[in-house]
Every structure is written in structure tokens, then in C-alpha cells.
């Protein structure tokens, strides 16, 4: 990460985003991200709790996308068709993005 000029702290949320994206599930994404990257993230000097918060926030960002569990569960519970459900995605993505950004700033840079 240093060779690319990217702060090491971004490995935690990015790994959560990528692994949840691949798995289509927050829980599975967090499990995969922590299994694959926990030692590296901790080696960068990031505390375990900070890493956990950032990985989870990144994974939650993906869960509102059309392949995520939350998306599908809320579609069924609201009894809406796919076209109508997709209209909400930009707002949910904004919420997830802000959540990931705030978690990364608070737990990656401030604490």
C-alpha cells in the first residue's frame, strides 16, 4: 500500500467492500475479509477493534446493493417490484458510503 501512496488504514474498509461484494453478504464478506487481511491490517498498527469497525462498515456499504441480503429481504417485506426497489439504491448507497467514510475517519485516522 505504501508503494501506491495509499494509506494502510484503507485496507480494512476496502477489504470489507470487496469481500462482501464477492460474497453478496455482509456476514460472509466480513468473515472473508478478516480471515484474509486481519494479520496484515494489525501489522500496520491498527487496533483490532478499529479494524473490525472499518471492515464491517465497508461490508455494510455493499449489502444494500441488488445482490445483498438486506436488499432482497427489504424488497420482499415491502412487497415491491424490482424496478421500484432499485429506485432506493442511490439513497442507501449514499448512507453506506457515509457510514464507511465516517468509520474510516474516526477509527482509522482519529482514534
Q: Would you state the cell numbers that stand for residue 76, as one nine-digit string?
A: 420482499
Tally of structural domains, the chain: 1
Q: How many C-beta atoms lie closer than 10 Å to residue 19's C-beta? A: 25
Confirm whether 5 is domain-assigned: no
Confirm whether 100 is domain-assigned: yes
Confirm whether 110 is domain-assigned: no
Confirm whether 90 is domain-assigned: yes
**First-last CA distance in the chain:** 20
Confirm whether 41 is domain-assigned: yes
Confirm whether 1 is domain-assigned: no
Residue 87 per-residue DSSP state: T
Distances (CA, A) of 96 to 13, 79, 81, 99: 12, 23, 22, 5
- pLDDT at residue 107 is higher than 90: yes
Q: What percent of the chain has pLDDT over 90?
A: 56
pLDDT, tens digit (0-9, with 9 covering 90-100), for 42-51: 999 999 999 9
Confirm whether 109 is domain-assigned: no
Task: Give the pLDDT of residue 108.
Answer: 93
pLDDT, tens digit (0-9, with 9 covering 90-100), for 64-99: 777 777 788 888 888 899 899 889 888 888 988 999
What's the domain range around 27? 10-104
Amino acid at each position: 500500500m505504501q508503494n501506491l501512496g495509499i494509506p494502510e488504514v484503507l485496507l480494512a474498509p476496502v477489504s470489507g467492500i470487496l469481500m462482501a461484494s464477492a460474497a453478496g453478504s455482509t456476514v460472509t464478506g466480513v468473515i472473508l475479509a478478516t480471515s484474509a487481511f486481519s494479520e496484515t491490517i494489525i501489522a500496520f498498527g491498527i487496533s483490532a477493534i478499529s479494524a473490525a469497525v472499518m471492515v464491517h462498515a465497508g461490508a455494510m456499504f455493499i449489502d444494500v446493493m441488488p445482490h445483498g441480503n438486506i436488499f432482497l429481504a427489504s424488497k420482499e417485506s415491502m412487497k415491491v417490484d424490482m424496478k421500484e426497489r432499485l429506485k432506493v439504491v442511490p439513497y442507501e448507497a449514499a448512507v453506506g458510503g457515509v457510514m464507511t467514510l465516517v468509520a474510516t475517519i474516526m477509527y482509522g485516522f482519529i482514534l
